[in-house]
Structure 1
Amino acid sequence: MSNDTDKPDTASGISFVPPSAMTLPRYAGVASFMRAPHLSISDPACAAVDIALLGVPWDGGTTNRPGARHGPRQLRDLSTMIRPKHPVTGQNPFEDRNIADLGDAPVNPADIMDTLESVTGFIAKLKAMGISPLSAGGDHLLSYPIIKALASDGPIGMVHFDAHTDLFDSYFNGFKYTHGTPFRRAIEEGYLDPHRVVQIGIRGTMYDGEDVEWGLEQGVRIIRMEEVLERGIDQVMAEARDIVGRDKTYVSFDIDAVDPAFAPGTGTPEIGGFSSREAQKMIRSLGGLNLVGADLVEVSPPFDPSGGTAWLGISLMYELLCVLAGAKATSNPNRKSG
């Protein structure tokens, strides 16, 4: 097997090709997402980066079972098992784009609003540099500040895989910012275009259904798990593509979209979800969309110390990386073309 680790990017002077496991064992070296080079956002080499892999180690929006703050570290560790070439398409995203691990977004475990502002500021810097973020959570509230930054010049669409709508108004006597409210806030504040938002896999017992009613009133397309089973994934994903169209779109994948038989390590598991294979198929069907970023959230290591949930999570992040790499066009001479 060839090893391209000694071939630097011509503009940055560093190599964006992950080291081969044939020369550096997977268990060796400092862990980074998928063995991509680890850079600081202030590093001059970031001028050549197309896609940033990053963690948001925070679960301050959790209202029941905490632990997702530990997700990014476990996801990073298990990501050393990822090989670069896609087994079906033959795509190597690390050859298509310059991809780097830019560490973790700044968070404050004692202050929700400070964390939201800090994450928005961090993602805004990436956007200004022309870098698309692929983020690992963390609880689902972190999607809100990311979307806020990416939608600074106009509302964007979203494909959202989840067991829950996360369209609730508030929790505990009016508190507006929890892992159950991010997309309501993003729609209310004009960061998401509700007519270009599709939620897939919704299921489980409910409080009162107000979240679903509000979403439908705004124009959100909510596809319950029962509808997916009746129509099939191909039809559902074709509709999702039609809904978001050719305009800028974000992808958010809550690991609890997958059945707890495959992903028990999450804060709010719901039975009757997708298999790991179905999750792969759905993400792969997003190829060619105008994607500006994505996240994988709610992996909670305390509920699956074995790492099985995190391994599924990072495998789905790889699938997201492939569709992002296919979507990320750039005219910057410091970056790869394709």
Structure 2
Amino acid sequence: MSLAKARTAVDRAFAEDDPRGLAYENAFGGATSFLRRKYTKDLSGFDLAVTGVPFDQAVTHRPGTRFGPRAIREASSLQPFDPPIYWDGFDPLSEFAIADYGDLAFDYANVAGVPDLLQDHIKGILDRNCSAITLGGDHFITLPILKAYAEKYGPMSVIQFDAHSDLWPDDDMSRIDHGTMMYKAVKLGVIDVSCSIQIGIRTVCDDYLGMPFIDARTVHEKGCGWVTEEVKRRVGDHPTYITFDIDALDPAYAPGTGTPVWGGLHSWQAAAMLRDLAGINMVGGDCVEVSPPYDTTGATAIAGAHVAMELCCLNLWNKRTA
């Protein structure tokens, strides 16, 4: 498609038959599908599905992440006509088919029913030979997602970017809490701590259950290259899930989140580390805790959109080199 013709295209999220290629629509108009990809529930011929989970009933303090998926999608409309250059000239939007699978539908008043709905939602994507990149929502959503992944791959390697370990003890598996989801994931055996790691931690937990972590200060002092080499050594070629809590970033770069903690990662550090993880066996991921009401600038949603794009690229790079 010529550039001139492309600029007259209307809502490729609905009208474009070929899911591959860049998008040249006005960023300020049209449908806000993720990266202007096609909205569809039919994943035939697609490599990756992006889906949203607008759930924030598990937060400790400030709600608002239910608006995260919509804000991330809107922010992503700035990217698909000017994608960054990836490894070896990799153009993920042209080489692979990415679908916007829409959001998980749930009854907001039936909170207890959400975990099973979400697990089945992700399982439905995986059963169609697609990977899933999920837009949150609060961090609790990672637990049902990991359960779906563990059904397919066994106990997962997890790379968690976060200010908090989310390993606070909670043996009531029916409780829905974004601060205890990793504790439950370990106890339920859906992740393997021997090949998992956390990055950016700057809060204290009494018992890390064998989960190693690299705190934010260590990232600052030892550098991104050292961190990614350590992470790659840790996860090896094990099927890996990346969960990125936006509060891993310092509040200067991502103020729109429920539990901001100063001293965090700079946006360039997150970008460098995600990019340098190319080659790991990354089979899925999420970006969570984007809470637009606490950021009138939109910077947090922009950061979330970039994180989600990098997660897509890590997954598709793995498919490209398989």
Q: Which residue of 2 aligns with 1:38?
A: 39
In structure 2, how many angstroms separate the alpha carbons of the residues matched to 1:282 and 1:258?
Answer: 12
Q: Which residue of 2 aligns with 1:322?
A: 313
In structure 1, how many angstroms separate the alpha carbons of the residues matched to 2:282 and 2:20?
Answer: 23
Q: Which residue of 2 aligns with 1:92?
A: 91
In structure 1, how many angstroms separate the alpha carbons of the residues matched to 2:76 and 2:23?
Answer: 14
| Alignment of structure 1 residues 137-286 onto 2, 5 Å | 137-153=136-152, 154-170=154-170, 176-204=175-203, 206=204, 209-210=205-206, 213=207, 215=208, 218-286=209-277
Residue 293 in 1 paired to residue 284 in 2? yes
Kindly provide the amino acid, as one letter, of the partner of residue 27 in structure 2.
Answer: R
On the 8 A contact 1:163/1:273 being kept in 2, the answer is yes
CA distance change for structure 1 residues 174 and 48 in 2, over 3 Å: closer, same or farther? Answer: closer
Which deviations, in whole Å up to 9, do the C-alpha atoms of 1:86-119 show, x marking residues without a partner? Answer: 2353321122221010000223322333111101
Which deviations, in whole Å up to 9, do the C-alpha atoms of 1:61-107 show, x marking residues without a partner? Answer: 11210000100111111111013532353321122221010000223
In structure 2, how many angstroms separate the alpha carbons of the residues matched to 1:280 and 1:19?
Answer: 21
SS in 1 for 2:134: strand
In structure 1, how many angstroms separate the alpha carbons of the residues matched to 2:105 and 2:158?
Answer: 24
On the 8 A contact 1:264/1:303 being kept in 2, the answer is yes
In structure 2, how many angstroms separate the alpha carbons of the residues matched to 1:20 and 1:58?
Answer: 29
On the 8 A contact 1:57/1:107 being kept in 2, the answer is no
On the 8 A contact 1:291/1:328 being kept in 2, the answer is no
In structure 2, how many angstroms separate the alpha carbons of the residues matched to 1:145 and 1:64?
Answer: 21
Q: Which residue of 1 aligns with 2:79?
A: 82
SS in 2 for 1:167: coil
Kindly provide the amino acid, as one letter, of the partner of residue 128 in structure 1.
Answer: D
Q: Which residue of 2 aligns with 1:57?
A: 54
Q: What is the TM-score of this pair, normalised by structure 1? A: 0.86
In structure 2, how many angstroms separate the alpha carbons of the residues matched to 1:57 and 1:170?
Answer: 24
In structure 2, how many angstroms separate the alpha carbons of the residues matched to 1:197 and 1:110?
Answer: 34
Q: Which residue of 1 aligns with 2:12?
A: none
In structure 1, how many angstroms separate the alpha carbons of the residues matched to 2:215 and 2:174?
Answer: 27
CA distance change for structure 1 residues 78 and 229 in 2, over 3 Å: closer, same or farther? Answer: closer
On the 8 A contact 2:227/2:273 being kept in 1, the answer is no
Q: What's the Cα RMSD here?
A: 2.2
| Alignment of structure 1 residues 66-145 onto 2, 5 Å | 66-83=63-80, 85-87=83-85, 89=87, 90-145=89-144
SS in 2 for 1:292: strand
Kindly provide the amino acid, as one letter, of the partner of residue 158 in structure 1.
Answer: V
In structure 1, how many angstroms separate the alpha carbons of the residues matched to 2:188 and 2:86?
Answer: 40
Deviation at 1:273, TM superposition (A): 0.6
SS in 2 for 1:28: coil
In structure 1, how many angstroms separate the alpha carbons of the residues matched to 2:138 and 2:189?
Answer: 22
Q: What is the TM-score of this pair, normalised by structure 2? A: 0.90
Deviation at 1:305, TM superposition (A): 2.6
How many residue pairs are counted as aligned between the two chains? 310
Residue 310 in 1 paired to residue 301 in 2? yes
Kindly provide the amino acid, as one letter, of the partner of residue 37 in structure 1.
Answer: K
SS in 2 for 1:176: coil
In structure 1, how many angstroms separate the alpha carbons of the residues matched to 2:219 and 2:56?
Answer: 30
Which deviations, in whole Å up to 9, do the C-alpha atoms of 1:207-260 show, x marking residues without a partner? Answer: xx32xx2x2xx3211111222223222111111111111010000001000000
Kindly provide the amino acid, as one letter, of the partner of residue 168 in structure 1.
Answer: W
Residue 25 in 1 paired to residue 26 in 2? yes
Which deviations, in whole Å up to 9, do the C-alpha atoms of 1:248-297 show, x marking residues without a partner? Answer: 00000010000000110000000001111111001101111111101000
On the 8 A contact 1:259/1:275 being kept in 2, the answer is yes
* Structure 1: segments with no counterpart, 5+ residues: 7-12, 330-336
Q: Which stretch of structure 1 is more off in the superposition, 245-254 or 103-112?
A: 103-112
Q: Which stretch of structure 1 is more off in the superposition, 234-243 or 90-99?
A: 90-99
Q: Which stretch of structure 1 is more off in the superposition, 219-228 or 243-252?
A: 219-228
Residue 15 in 1 paired to residue 18 in 2? yes
